[in-house]
Amino acid sequence: MDTALHYLAGDIGGTHTRLLLARVEGRAAPHYLHRAIYPSSEYDALDPILMEFLLDAPDLDGACLAVAGPVITEDDGRQHVRLTNLDWHLDSRLLAERFELDRLHLINDVEAIGYGLAALGKRDVATLQAGRPRGEGVRAVLAAGTGLGQAIVVTRAAHRRRRVQVIPGEAGHRDLAPANLHEVQLWEWLHGQYGRATWEHCLSGPGLLDLYRFCANEQCMQAPPRHEPAAITAAAMHDSDPVAVAALDLFVGLYASAAANLALACLPRGGLYLGGGIAPQILARLRQPDFLAHFLHKAPMEHLLREIPLHVITHDSPGLLGALQVAQEV
C-alpha cells in the first residue's frame, strides 16, 4: 500500500513563479518530482500556470503558495492576496475548488523564507559577519528582489516540542530614513518622483533602476540606457559603467542601513539573513568592507550589532522550502 503523500509548493513573485511538486513518505526527506520556473509577467493570472504544471500530477494532500504581497485571512479562514508588483489576485477558496485541493494555504513570500531557514545547509548561505550566534535566538530576513520584504522568526516551546512562528511585514513601504546628506538628496529626488520616498523605492529591482537614474542625473551624465536591474549590477560588478558603480554603491549602503535597522528592532541573535534575488548576485560587493561599516554605523549600538550573525542566502529558492514545510503542516 502506497503511504506516500504529495504536496504542491509555490513561490509566486512579480518576476518569477516557482513551483515544486514533492512526494513525502514517513519521516524521510521530501523527494522532488517536478520543479519549474515561469515568467510571471507573461501570464494574466496564476491559473494557467498551475494548469500546465499540474498536468498529469497525482492527487495532492496539501498545497502552500508563498505570495509577494500581504495575505488577508477572513474569519472563516478564506485567504486572499493581491500581489504588490503584479496585477494578480489570488483567492485560496477559489483556487482550492478549481484545482480540487482539500487544503491550500497562502502565506507571504518572505514569511516562507523564514520557514525555510531551518532547511538551509552550510552551502546555502554566505556569512558576512560571524557574530555570536545563539541557536534559539530570534532570526530575521530582509529580502530585496522585485520588492522589499521582511520577516521575524521566533522559536517557541509548544506541547513539549519546538515550533517556529514567522511574523511577516511590509518593511519596504516604510518611509526612507536618509543617514547622510547624499541620501537626503536621494530622498528629495524620490519624493519628487513618487510623492513619498520608501525603502522599496531604493532596495528592489525597480529601485536599483531609480538609483541609476538618480546617479546619472546627479553626475549630469548621459548614462547608457539600462532597463534591467541585472544589467546595472553586471556593469557595476565589472566596473564598466561609472553610473552603475555609483548606483550600486548607494544601494549597498542603504541595504546595510536597512539591515541594521531591522537588527536593532528585533535583535536577531540567531542570525539576520539577506534574501531575495539581488544579494546573491552582488555577494562579492557585499563582502567589501564598506558594507559592514555601514551596517555597524549605528552609534551607540555598534557593539551590539557586532554580535549579530549576518548572512546572505545563496540557495536559489528558499521560499519553496518554507512553502513545502507549511504545506505539510497545515
Query: What CATH code is carried by the domain that includes residue 237?
Result: 3.40.367.20
Judgement on whether residues 202 and 298 belong to the same structural domain of the protein: yes
Judgement on whether residues 322 and 263 belong to the same structural domain of the protein: no
Per-residue pLDDT of the chain (330 residues; tens, 9 = 90+): 467 889 999 999 888 999 999 998 877 788 999 999 999 989 999 999 999 999 888 889 899 999 988 899 888 888 999 988 888 999 999 999 998 888 899 999 999 999 999 999 999 999 999 999 987 789 999 999 989 999 999 987 666 667 889 999 888 999 999 999 999 999 999 999 999 999 999 999 999 999 999 999 887 666 667 778 999 999 999 999 999 999 999 999 999 999 999 999 999 999 999 999 999 999 999 999 999 999 999 999 999 999 999 999 999 999 999 999 999 886
- Among 174, 152, 175, 177, which residue's Cα sits nearest to residue 165? 152
Judgement on whether residues 106 and 194 belong to the same structural domain of the protein: no
Q: Give the CATH number, domain containing residue 47.
A: 3.30.420.40
Judgement on whether residues 222 and 298 belong to the same structural domain of the protein: yes
Helix, strand or coil for residue 59? Answer: coil
| Total number of domains constituting the chain | 2
Q: State the cell numbers at 15.
A: 518576476
The model's pTM is 0.92
Judgement on whether residues 300 and 323 belong to the same structural domain of the protein: no
Judgement on whether residues 276 and 190 belong to the same structural domain of the protein: yes
Is cis: bond before 242, omega within 30 of 0? no
Judgement on whether residues 295 and 321 belong to the same structural domain of the protein: no
Exposed / middle / buried, residue 157 (Cβ in 10 Å: 0-12, 13-18, 19+): exposed
- Domain range for 125 is 121-314
Judgement on whether residues 137 and 274 belong to the same structural domain of the protein: yes
Judgement on whether residues 215 and 260 belong to the same structural domain of the protein: yes
Judgement on whether residues 297 and 323 belong to the same structural domain of the protein: no
**What's the confidence (pLDDT) of residue 2?**
60
Judgement on whether residues 36 and 127 belong to the same structural domain of the protein: no
What are the DSSP calls for 197-208, one per residue? Answer: -BSTTTSSHHHH
Judgement on whether residues 240 and 303 belong to the same structural domain of the protein: yes
Residue ranges with strand state E in 25-77: 31-39, 62-67, 72-73
